[in-house]
């Protein structure tokens, strides 16, 4: 995508306005039964972004053409990276606590099996889904999980349709669902907040951000510790999650599907809309480290947007400037390592590792780095990410969402709930 399109001032100005408005509204607490539902600024930013999306309302094309909506897609990944760096900066100072909770952090990944245990029986026995139920319920359906299904079954088959359906629902609503779940469960006092924070790590970058942000909003006194546990969990998920999905979760989903009497059939009404599609129609992201010069320029713009959004609930532009520059440098170092490393690890993982190392107590100048980063509100810099996400939803995603109907929505929410609660339960037991 041309650099001029990625740096278009109209797109970034719109995200700044949406972010500032969302941050101004702040956190709303809504009593719901025995708990409290938290609505965060990132929720408003996403909703406003969707409402202004040119693929939803054609009238918005006058100030946001579809080409700029398309440009927002790579900006999601790039703009989440400074948050990941800020995320990682909470792990270094809390390294002793994290080491003491080591077994819980490692083994809570097995809680991901809650996806199929909760969702697969409903999909097969209640909703009468075919083999698309396997793809839909074996994982949380993020990019590595799509890659597994694509390699084993192909994305045009029923399993591929299932995983892509959950992916679309997750793209549109998964982030918000994780935030709502985390905030509500925290208000019930059923779980140790650290267990809930560890469970945040099972999702994508935006899910982790929203989930941990909600927990920090529910327990502000523990915000740094909770971010540290969530970040450490997410880092371990990158290392182990793919293998748990491939060697444990998927074989178990196949076995359970057969035990539930599942039938082999081409597709059901859930995925009929994709039956004639091509694998090329499904998401493929250009890795940011592939074009470091372009990424550096776009990253700088994303940092400026986050820097401005930070002024409402963070610090002034002057006070926050050193912290934002540090996050920018941490992110670039992580991307350079991603490109140079002899083995592949996602860029967000390297960025997180760089920020962890630079904030460890024995790292030269770590005290000053941590002090400067304190001026950057982690929630404020993730709000623009959700604004980009709302604007980036494509016509295909809106179409798939309308055509999948209520079945995949139910299954997707059960998948997200099972994943999060299952991981939280395992972490709770081991703490």
Q: Write the pLDDT tens digit of every residue in 49-68.
A: 888 988 887 777 777 788 88
pLDDT for the residue 24: 92
Highest mean pLDDT among 78-87, 257-266, 370-379: 370-379
Q: What's the structural domain count of the chain?
A: 1
Cα angle value 170/171/173 (rounded, 5°): 60
pLDDT for the residue 205: 63
Is there a domain that residue 309 lies in?
no
Is there a domain that residue 11 lies in?
yes
pLDDT > 60? residue 407: yes
pLDDT > 50? residue 273: no
Is there a domain that residue 361 lies in?
no
pLDDT > 80? residue 77: no
Radius of gyration of the chain (CA): 21
pLDDT > 50? residue 283: no
DSSP class per residue in 68-128: HHHHHHHHHHHHHHHHHHHHHTTTGGGHHHHHHTHHHHHHGGGGGGHHHHHHHHIIIIIS-
Asked if 95 and 231 count as a contact pair (C-beta separation under 8 A), the reply is no
Is there a domain that residue 329 lies in?
no
**By residue range, what is the domain housing residue 275?**
3-74+112-290+379-430
Is there a domain that residue 358 lies in?
no
Report the range of poorest mean pLDDT among 90-94, 172-176, 257-261.
Answer: 172-176
Q: Write the pLDDT tens digit of every residue in 10-26.
A: 899 999 999 999 999 98
The answer to whether the predicted template modeling score (pTM) of the entire model surpasses 0.85 is: no
pLDDT > 90? residue 30: no
Torsion of CA 293, 297, 299, 305, to 10 degrees: 180
Burial, 247: exposed, middle or buried (Cβ in 10 Å; 0-12, 13-18, 19+)? exposed
Q: Please name the residue that has the structure tokens 């245990």.
A: 117
Is there a domain that residue 351 lies in?
no
Asked if 283 and 143 count as a contact pair (C-beta separation under 8 A), the reply is yes
pLDDT band at 37, cuts 50/70/90?
low
pLDDT for the residue 20: 95
pLDDT band at 377, cuts 50/70/90?
confident
Query: For 345-368, what is the mean pLDDT?
Result: 86
Q: Write the pLDDT tens digit of every residue in 223-232.
A: 877 877 787 7
Query: For 76-104, what is the mean pLDDT?
Result: 76
Query: For 113-125, what is the mean pLDDT?
Result: 83
pLDDT for the residue 241: 63
Q: 3-state secondary structure string, 1-60? A: CCHHHHCCHHHHHHHHHHHHHHHHHCCEEEEECCEEEEECHHHHHHHHHHHCCCCCCHHH
What percent of the chain shows pLDDT beyond 70? 80
Burial 282-302 (b: 16+ CB within 10 A, else e): beeeeebbeeeebbbebbebb
pLDDT for the residue 106: 61
DSSP 287: P
Is there a domain that residue 266 lies in?
yes
Query: For 2-11, what is the mean pLDDT?
Result: 82
pLDDT band at 154, cuts 50/70/90?
low
Query: For 371-381, what is the mean pLDDT?
Result: 87
Average pLDDT, the chain: 79
Other C-beta atoms within 10 Å of 2: how many? 10
Highest mean pLDDT among 124-128, 178-182, 272-276, 369-373: 369-373
């Amino acid at each position: 995508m041309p650099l001029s399109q990625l740096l278009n001032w109209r797109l970034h100005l719109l995200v700044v306005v949406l972010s500032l408005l969302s941050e101004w509204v702040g956190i709303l607490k809504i009593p719901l039964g025995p708990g409290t539902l938290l609505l965060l600024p990132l929720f408003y930013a996403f909703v406003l972004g969707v409402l202004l999306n040119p693929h939803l309302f054609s009238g918005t094309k006058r100030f946001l053409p579809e080409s700029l909506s398309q440009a927002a897609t790579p900006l999601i990944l790039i703009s989440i990276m400074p948050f990941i760096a800020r995320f990682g900066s909470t792990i270094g100072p809390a390294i002793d606590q994290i080491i003491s909770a080591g077994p819980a952090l490692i083994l809570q990944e097995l809680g991901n099996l809650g996806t199929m245990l909760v969702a697969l029986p409903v999909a097969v026995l209640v909703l009468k889904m075919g083999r698309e139920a396997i793809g839909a319920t074996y994982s949380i359906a993020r990019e590595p999980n799509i890659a597994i299904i694509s390699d084993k079954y192909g994305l045009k088959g029923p399993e591929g349709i299932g995983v892509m359906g959950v992916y679309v629902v997750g793209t549109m609503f998964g982030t918000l669902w994780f935030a709502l779940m985390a905030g509500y469960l925290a208000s019930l006092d059923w779980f140790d907040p650290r267990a809930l924070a560890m469970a945040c790590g099972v999702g994508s970058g935006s899910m982790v951000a929203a989930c941990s942000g909600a927990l920090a909003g529910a327990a502000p006194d523990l915000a740094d510790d909770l971010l540290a546990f969530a970040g450490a969990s997410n880092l371990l998920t990158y290392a182990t999650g793919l293998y748990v999905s491939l060697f444990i979760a998927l074989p178990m989903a196949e076995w359970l599907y057969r035990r539930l009497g599942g039938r082999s059939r081409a597709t059901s009404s859930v995925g009929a809309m994709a039956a004639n599609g091509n694998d090329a129609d499904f998401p493929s992201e250009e890795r940011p480290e592939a074009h470091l010069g372009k990424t550096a320029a776009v990253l700088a713009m994303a940092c400026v947007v986050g820097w401005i959004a930070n002024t409402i609930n963070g610090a002034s532009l002057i006070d926050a400037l050193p912290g934002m520059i540090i996050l920018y440098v941490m992110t670039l170092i992580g991307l350079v390592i991603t490109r140079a490393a002899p083995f592949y690890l996602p860029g967000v993982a390297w960025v997180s590792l760089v920020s962890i190392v630079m904030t460890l107590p024995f790292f030269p100048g770590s005290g000053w780095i941590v002090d400067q980063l304190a001026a950057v509100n982690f929630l404020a810099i993730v709000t623009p990410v959700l604004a980009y996400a709302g604007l980036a939803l494509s016509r295909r995603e809106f179409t798939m969402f309308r055509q999948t109907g209520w079945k995949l929505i139910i299954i997707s929410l059960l998948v997200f709930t099972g994943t999060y609660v299952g991981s939280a339960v395992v972490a709770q037991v081991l703490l």
